[in-house]
A and B are shown apart, each in its own frame.
Chain A
Amino acid sequence: MTGAVPPRSWASRLFEPRRLGRQAPATRVLVYAGLLFWTFVVLFPFYWLLVTSLKLPIHVADGPNYLPFVDFTPSPHAWHYIFVEIGRDTFRPYLNSVIIAGASTALAVVVGSMAAYALARIDYRPKLGTIGLFVVALAAVVVAVIAFGVPWQLAAVAGIAVFVFLARALAGRFRRSVGNGDILFWIISQRILPPVVAAIPIYVMFQQLGLLDTHLALILTYMTVNLPIVVWLMYDFFASIPTDLEESAQIDGASRYRIFFDVVLPLAKPGLAATSLLVLVLAWNEYLLALFLSTVDAQTMPLLVSAQNATRGPQWWYMSVLIVIMILPVTAVAVALQKFIARGLLIGAVKG
């Protein structure tokens, strides 16, 4: 690596990593100014929230007051209202949010990463004809139940029997098949649909099942909605783990499950941490489906926040308190997971 350094374009030089300590003082000042400015942009909304939560309605109506004790006298009024006056009504949705977001995230990550691993390691070649057959059988069951009043248990059993029989009989005749890429695209395509389109059918389904306003309904819905994201993200992480490692474990005597839990999951930790965090935040902040599926017992925090915008207009001071306490646990989780979201875990596994 001796000899002349090849000339670099100004564009490539612009993106080269450089040590701040080596820069000229003027450059350093500029860099710090930029960083400080961006820190301000990021942190100001938090400050605003905190300040607003300490204001009385009259201060909010007063216009932009930012500095407590200077512009206005802080008051614990809103905090007192949220924690004491309606304390029980705050605590319940808070607990609901924790349960629903936590459980749905855990389920989505476990189920999704297993699905992603399977897709990353096993070649599936489902025949197009078999898939078509399944759709036809499903449609026949639905028609039989709705139009002809066949008991649904009977229809389901008959439908499965017909499908299995025909699939076995005709499998040899089907030629065209789809691969893992198609399955992956089909999974992520679930997210192309705007959720509001699915909201009404989901509502009707849980109504029929008698599960409206329960934790279970929201957990299942959130898990389903977030599964495609988990599968999509984790697929990439699993695909990047060298297969040599798994084959080596296989020869050393490990079963598929052992390989998944002993070798693959520890190496996918950064991906798991990042994916869990993303899915947790999505479930924690979800509003639309919660609005449909919960009323009182399973009400979540986003609904409580929006409920502060009632007949008396938006009550910013109460909202601010709720949002502050809503942000805290997610921030704590993000900080806790930070150390896992580090790269370079695979160094030393294989050469290079």
Chain B
Amino acid sequence: MRIRLDRLSKSFGAVQVLHELSMTVEPGEFLVLLGPSGCGKTTALRMIAGLETASGGRIFIGERDVTDVLPKYRDVAMVFQSNALYPHKTVAQNIAYPLVLRKTPAAERDRAVREVARQVQLDALLDRYPRQLSGGQRQRVALARAMVRRPAAFLMDEPLSNLDAKLRVHMRSELKHMQHELGVTTVYVTHDQIEAMTLAHRVAILNQGRIQQLGTPREIYNDPENLFVAGFVGSPPMNFLEGAMRNGAFAGPGFGLNTPAAAHAGAAVMGVRPEDCRTVAAGQGRIEAEIYATELTGDHTLVTCRIGEQFAVVKMDKNYEQAIGTPVGIDFDVDHAFFFDAASQGRIRMPTTPAPQSA
């Protein structure tokens, strides 16, 4: 079912954590709310669930206005960061609880529990208690409990953040597959950009209670709206070089760059991703720099270069080797450079170079 937020606001006392948030989650869509801690993403999710009241704005699930509806009547299922399993109930009882509360006949309930337990591979553990399960198993019980009653929407609050790295990768693909199978509208909160990029149909990036950009993972990555989105998504993060724009040219620290037809004039920031840069012999690149550090991460080498007082990271081949202090040139394609207004932090778009769309 469609979830629609219409100018949703939330204040705790004098602190406003959400500012007129508006967005629509399409039926069957997997939407990820991504942002740093304290950006209001969990609050937004809890408001959709009904665990927090709205200070302003409306929430619609399907065609129904649920803004003032109790959580139990909203027909959503939520998976908590902490699993929130009932420790005094067995796995089967945990999964069955939503059905028990809905007075589903026992036979039908048993069938549903078995069916959903099979889907998440818990059939052998139905008689165990949560304390006898591993972290991943507990998370699967929490998922099964959410799935068992076919809700209008799944709400997930960092469900994978308590798992170890290896299990997290595994559960991520499980989750994606399951959502695809069930086709249930899902809103997923995380601060982990990899989770967001891999799981989402669309990502909403939040900062300080405002949506910074809402789009497919590819759009977010290839066409960031502003400095925050550009810096938040990508690992290692995008390089930012401060400078000024004047007469269709960007003047950075010790280098200049033609930016055809850019109408902007004044302080600006140029951003370019580490993987779009390469180091070349000194004097042959666009920017003159010297090597500050090199870090081998396994499948590639991160080269930190010093450009005057600023730094830029270049992603190079794993066999790259240079001594610290070596003067080098940094080269990149102008099409891959983004420009932002230093004051408003907004993107400065180039009329002649169309924004690189999904390749």
Chain A interface residues toward B at CB < 8 A: 242, 244-245, 247-255, 258, 262-263, 266-267, 344-351
Residue B258 CB within 8 A of the other chain: no
Chain A residue at minimum C-beta to C-beta distance from B78: A251
Task: List 10 tightest A-B contacts by C-beta distance, closest first.
Answer: A348-B131, A348-B130, A350-B82, A248-B84, A244-B84, A253-B101, A349-B87, A252-B98, A347-B131, A253-B72
Is B87 a contact partner of A351 (Cβ separation < 8 A)? no
User: B99 → chain A, closest Cβ, in Å?
Assistant: 9
Kindly identify, within residues 92 to 135 of chain B, every residue whose CB is under 8 Å from any CB belonging to chain A: 97-98, 101-102, 129-133, 135
User: A242 → chain B, closest Cβ, in Å?
Assistant: 7
Question: Given the complex, which residues of B lie within 8 Å of A344, measured CB to CB?
Answer: 131
Question: Given the complex, which residues of B lie within 8 Å of A253, measured CB to CB?
Answer: 72, 98, 101-102
Question: Given the complex, which residues of A lie within 8 Å of B98, measured CB to CB?
Answer: 252-253
Question: Given the complex, which residues of A lie within 8 Å of B132, measured CB to CB?
Answer: 348
Given A242-B84, A244-B80, A245-B84, A252-B101 contact (CB < 8 Å): yes
Is A254 a contact partner of B72 (Cβ separation < 8 A)? yes
Question: Given the complex, which residues of A lie within 8 Å of B74, measured CB to CB?
Answer: 251
User: A163 → chain B, closest Cβ, in Å?
Assistant: 29
Question: Given the complex, which residues of A lie within 8 Å of B184, measured CB to CB?
Answer: none
Is A266 a contact partner of B88 (Cβ separation < 8 A)? yes
Chain B residue at minimum C-beta to C-beta distance from A349: B87
Residue B51 CB within 8 A of the other chain: yes
User: A252 → chain B, closest Cβ, in Å?
Assistant: 4
The distance in angstroms between the C-alpha atoms of A351 and B50, with both chains bound, is 24
The distance in angstroms between the C-alpha atoms of A245 and B142, with both chains bound, is 11
User: B139 → chain A, closest Cβ, in Å?
Assistant: 10
Chain B residue at minimum C-beta to C-beta distance from A241: B87
Chain A residue at minimum C-beta to C-beta distance from B70: A250
Given A252-B97, A349-B87, A351-B162, A247-B138 contact (CB < 8 Å): no
Chain A residue at minimum C-beta to C-beta distance from B155: A251
Question: Given the complex, which residues of A lie within 8 Å of B81, measured CB to CB?
Answer: 244
Given A347-B131, A348-B130, A250-B87 contact (CB < 8 Å): no
User: A132 → chain B, closest Cβ, in Å?
Assistant: 25
Task: Provide a sorted-by-A list of 6 A–B residue pairs whose CB atoms are within 8 angstroms.
Answer: A242-B82, A248-B84, A262-B97, A347-B87, A350-B83, A351-B135
User: B49 → chain A, closest Cβ, in Å?
Assistant: 6
One digit per residue, 1 when the CB lies within 8 angstroms of any chain A CB and 0 when it does not, for chain B 133-154 equals 1010010000001000000000
Given A250-B51, A250-B72, A346-B101 contact (CB < 8 Å): no
Chain B residue at minimum C-beta to C-beta distance from A266: B88
Question: Given the complex, which residues of B lie within 8 Å of A262, measured CB to CB?
Answer: 97
Chain A residue at minimum C-beta to C-beta distance from B75: A253
The distance in angstroms between the C-alpha atoms of A350 and B159, with both chains bound, is 12
User: B4 → chain A, closest Cβ, in Å?
Assistant: 19
The distance in angstroms between the C-alpha atoms of A237 and B50, with both chains bound, is 26
Given A252-B101, A255-B72, A247-B131 contact (CB < 8 Å): no
User: B333 → chain A, closest Cβ, in Å?
Assistant: 45
Residue B85 CB within 8 A of the other chain: yes
Question: Given the complex, which residues of B lie within 8 Å of A351, measured CB to CB?
Answer: 82-83, 135, 162
Question: Given the complex, which residues of B lie within 8 Å of A245, measured CB to CB?
Answer: 84, 86
The distance in angstroms between the C-alpha atoms of A242 and B130, with both chains bound, is 15
One digit per residue, 1 when the CB lies within 8 angstroms of any chain A CB and 0 when it does not, for chain B 262-293 equals 00000000000000000000000000000000
The distance in angstroms between the C-alpha atoms of A18 and B273, with both chains bound, is 57
Chain A residue at minimum C-beta to C-beta distance from B86: A263
Residue B76 CB within 8 A of the other chain: yes
User: B86 → chain A, closest Cβ, in Å?
Assistant: 6
Question: Given the complex, which residues of A lie within 8 Å of B47, measured CB to CB?
Answer: none
Is B50 a contact partner of A249 (Cβ separation < 8 A)? no
From the candidates A250, A348, A350, name the one contacting B71 in the complex (CB within 8 A): A250
Is B88 a contact partner of A267 (Cβ separation < 8 A)? yes
Chain A residue at minimum C-beta to C-beta distance from B72: A253
The distance in angstroms between the C-alpha atoms of A45 and B86, with both chains bound, is 45
Residue B77 CB within 8 A of the other chain: yes
Is B80 a contact partner of A267 (Cβ separation < 8 A)? no
